[in-house]
Amino acid sequence: MGGQSGVIADFSRFEEITLTYNVDLMPNHPQTEDCGDGHGAFKLRGALNAVFSLDEKQATNGVATHSSGNHAAALALAAKLRGIPSYLVLPNNAPQFKMDNVKRYGGNVILCDPNMKSREETARKVLNETGAVLVPSSNDARIISGQGTVALEFLDEVPELDTLIVPISGGGLISGVAIAAKSINPTIRVLGAEPKGADDAAQSKASGSVITLSQTNTIADGLRASLGDLTWPIVRDFVDGIITVSDIEIIQAMRSCYEILKLAVEPSAAVALAAVMSENFKGNPDWKDSRNVGIVLSGGNVDLRYLWESLNKM
């Protein structure tokens, strides 16, 4: 999808590691060209795949979802491109500019309380009232396969990658990436990157069953969801480990993205760069042989006011 990619740095202890990056901030899908708009996250891949795989009858009443923002905007855009209505349930604490994105694409925004129970209840009500089809943000085969194109393109551009680091929340992105990457190169290492304040995937991997958190606390507003019954088995069996990082490390990584790459990367994406720079990765003996590390910088929807405030607090 025409992202930028290249080598950004060699990392201290691993003199041999070439750190590569793949940024997909303006997906170049043929159907998005007319709209002339940068959606700002990988989520459009899965949303387009899901919306365009509905038959005419299924699509009649539109699509609906609950999401912290990026998937909602992607679904609104995909629905607009297909010419069908969309209904997006967003937590009332979602960043304003993410809500604006959804509205810009013609989506109908319905606010709910910022917890999973309220999100699910409100979405159920919307589905009953509208007859729309639910398109989950990650726990959905169409979404997983759409997100998997990230790995196909990354490995196509940089075939020598031996490790991929991927932000994880509901697990749609990393599931698609792990399946696609390991089907091309079964020995490739796929690692999740997660904020310490929403470390349900790390806890799930450690305990061997899905852990959901009643509360999360992180600047990475896109990474507060939990694994589902489709994504969990894929994460359990194909993801080689989860690296957790603090919000301070995420903010530092965002800063590096600006200073070194000249890129606007949101916290939920910078988490992957933070993971690579962390001792949890560099000091892990199991991963010492990682040489060519690909980092999925998954979105650029940054609330600049919030970012400046965070940087000033450091």
Q: Which residues are catalytic?
A: 43, 68
* Minimum CB distance to ligand PLP, residue 265 (Å): 9
In terms of Cα–Cα distance, which of 219, 239, 217, 232 is closest to 166?
239
- For ligand PLP, the binding residue among 20, 22, 65, 70 (CB under 6 A) is 70
> Toward ligand PLP, which CB reaches closer, 85 or 222?
222
- For ligand PLP, the binding residue among 170, 195, 197, 228 (CB under 6 A) is 170
- For ligand PLP, the binding residue among 189, 298, 302, 307 (CB under 6 A) is 298
- For ligand PLP, the binding residue among 138, 163, 290, 292 (CB under 6 A) is 138
- For ligand PLP, the binding residue among 91, 136, 146, 172 (CB under 6 A) is 172
DSSP string, 55-118: -HHHHTT-EEEE-SSHHHHHHHHHHHHHT--EEEEEETTS-HHHHHHHHHTT-EEEEE-SSHHH
Q: How far apart are CA 109 and CA 88, in angstroms?
A: 5
**Which of positions 81-120 make contact with ligand PLP (CB under 6 A)?**
none
Phi and psi, residue 290, nearest 5°: -65, 125
CA atoms within 13 A on the CB side of 276: 32
Could you give the 3-state DSSP secondary structure of residue 179?
helix
Contacts of 307 (CB under 8 A, 6+ apart): 251, 254
139 binds ligand PLP (CB under 6 A): no
Contacts of 310 (CB under 8 A, 6+ apart): 219, 247, 251
- Other CB atoms within 10 Å distance of the CB of residue 173: 31
* Minimum CB distance to ligand PLP, residue 85 (Å): 22
299 binds ligand PLP (CB under 6 A): yes
Quick note: the x/- pattern for ligand PLP over 140-169, rule CB under 6 A, is ---------------------------xxx
**Which of positions 255-284 make contact with ligand PLP (CB under 6 A)?**
266, 268-269
* Minimum CB distance to ligand PLP, residue 308 (Å): 20
Could you give the 3-state DSSP secondary structure of residue 8?
strand
**Which of positions 201-260 make contact with ligand PLP (CB under 6 A)?**
222-223, 225
Q: How far is C-alpha 163 from the geometric centre of its chain's CA atoms?
A: 18
Quick note: the x/- pattern for ligand PLP over 31-50, rule CB under 6 A, is ----------x---------
* Minimum CB distance to ligand PLP, residue 56 (Å): 28
> Toward ligand PLP, which CB reaches closer, 59 or 73?
73
Residue ranges with strand state E in the chain: 4-10, 18-23, 63-66, 86-91, 108-112, 133-134, 163-167, 189-195, 241-245, 292-297
**Number of shown-chain residues binding ligand PLP (CB under 6 A):** 22
Site residues (vs ligand PLP, CB under 6 A):
41, 68, 70-71, 137-138, 167-174, 222-223, 225, 266, 268-269, 298-299
